[in-house]
Structure 1
Amino acid sequence: MGRWGIVTFATVAAVVTACSPSAADDAAGDETTTSTTRTPRITDDSGRPPVTFDPCYDIPDDVMNAAGYDAAKKEIADMPMGTYTFLGCAYEGTISVPGVLARYDLLVLAGNVTLDEELKRNGHVAESVQINGRPALVEVDPNARDTCRYVLQTTFGIVGLIRIYHKDHPGAVPQDEWCAGVLDLATTLEPFIQD
């Protein structure tokens, strides 16, 4: 099975295509407001469905700002792979967590691999959940320190939220804190997934 970029944020960083906030905003202003009428920025030759949800354009900036991520600094993070495609958007943010203020990186990826493929690939660290009634996985891999992944099923494939917690204190972040607040974020973003 092919490798896709939900493994770690570091993997994605190697293939990120940066876009200035004004360029992303200008491009979004030129497009229609629903992803179902937008031509996908990237397609592949796999015969898989086109990715119809574009995280940088289909998630409103005010929603991300309210969630603690600076939408003015978002960057396009696409991954054209030939046999599958991921459209991505990278954010930095500082979110208040009870008793602590922490810095996070967040990557939202929409790809045309299936939830079953993701489960086969990461089933050893995945737990099945529902996000607003949508089938999903939560993945906490002890080898991907300080990282939490939520992967939601769509008609074209999956949308993944990958968050890295950058600790601001000495010592390890307890594993049970890696996903603090990510379920709430996934629940907030799920209604914007057009499929």
Structure 2
Amino acid sequence: MDGWKRAAGSIALIAATTACGTDAPPKNPPSAAETVTSTTRTPRVVDESGRPAITFDPCLDLPDDVLVEAEFDPRSKRPSEYPMESYTFLGCSFKSATPSPGIPHRSRLTILSGNVTLEEEWEKDGHISTRTSVNGRDALLQLDPNNKNTCAINVRTDFGMVTFRRTHFPDDARKLPIDEWCEGLDHTVALFDPHLHP
């Protein structure tokens, strides 16, 4: 996944719109058919690759109560986008809530929703990947010994895959034992899984 991220770079998009009044007379009230609200959301970023549209936005589609249950602070969300000609990633990162007895240090969870396939990810990073599953979804567990205190799980979706990458930040900046890097991440992904669009 690091290769995709390096190739894309980070682009932050913030859009604001304003409406101005006019002196035109009011229009007739809309009909009932016209007042129906669309449930289709325009994606933050689209590309011209012909790949499927990304239907899960990690900054918009995870309920706050689920983030709290996973011990991440919803108020800390930071969006990111990685639009390329041949693929796209929508990202969102969250900081852990106040350290608790079960999690005695801080961590950051970065979620990347992309229209690349799990097979492409295996071809690129198979040397650090192990095939697994989460709630019945095909997944790759990625553990790179050179990526300090970090573990990732990529899960298959109809549009491509979603990557969940967690990094621990111990207060003393030490490197945790490698068998602790992935501990509990599968449980976090399982909590979020029902909110991923197929």
Which band: TM-score by shorter chain? 0.7 to 0.9
Q: After the TM superposition, list the runs of 4 or more consecutive aligned residues in structure 1 that deviate by more than 3 angstroms.
A: 94-98
Is it true that 1:71 corresponds to 2:66 in the alignment?
no
Between the aligned partners of 1:164 and 1:33, the Cα distance in structure 2 is 37
| Aligned residue type for 2:160 | G
1:171 Cα shift? 3.5
With normalisation by structure 1, the TM-score equals: 0.81
Distance 1:103-1:45 versus aligned 2 partners, 3 A rule: same
Match of 1:17 among 9, 12, 37: 12
More helix by percentage: 1
Q: Which residue of 2 aligns with 1:49?
A: 52
Within 5 A, what are the aligned runs for 1:114-125? 114-125=117-128
Partner SS for 1:64? helix
Amino-acid identity (%): 41
Partner SS for 2:60? helix
RMSD: 2.4
1:169 Cα shift? 2.8
- Provide the aligned length of Structure 1 versus Structure 2: 175
1:109 Cα shift? 0.7
Match of 2:86 among 78, 83, 88: 83
1:155 Cα shift? 0.6
Q: Which structure: larger Rg? A: 2
* Structure 2: segments with no counterpart, 5+ residues: 17-36
Between the aligned partners of 2:143 and 2:155, the Cα distance in structure 1 is 15
1:40 Cα shift? 1.3
Q: Which residue of 2 aligns with 1:4?
A: 4
Within 5 A, what are the aligned runs for 1:88-167? 88-94=91-97, 96=100, 98=102, 100-167=103-170
Distance 1:97-1:191 versus aligned 2 partners, 3 A rule: farther
| Aligned residue type for 1:83 | S
Q: Which residue of 1 aligns with 2:191?
A: 188
1:96 Cα shift? 3.9
Between the aligned partners of 1:120 and 1:140, the Cα distance in structure 2 is 15
Q: Deviations over 1:146-188 (max 9, x none)?
A: 1100000001000000111111236421011111111100110
Between the aligned partners of 1:103 and 1:56, the Cα distance in structure 2 is 20
Between the aligned partners of 2:51 and 2:87, the Cα distance in structure 1 is 7
CA contact (8 A) 1:97 1:180 kept: no
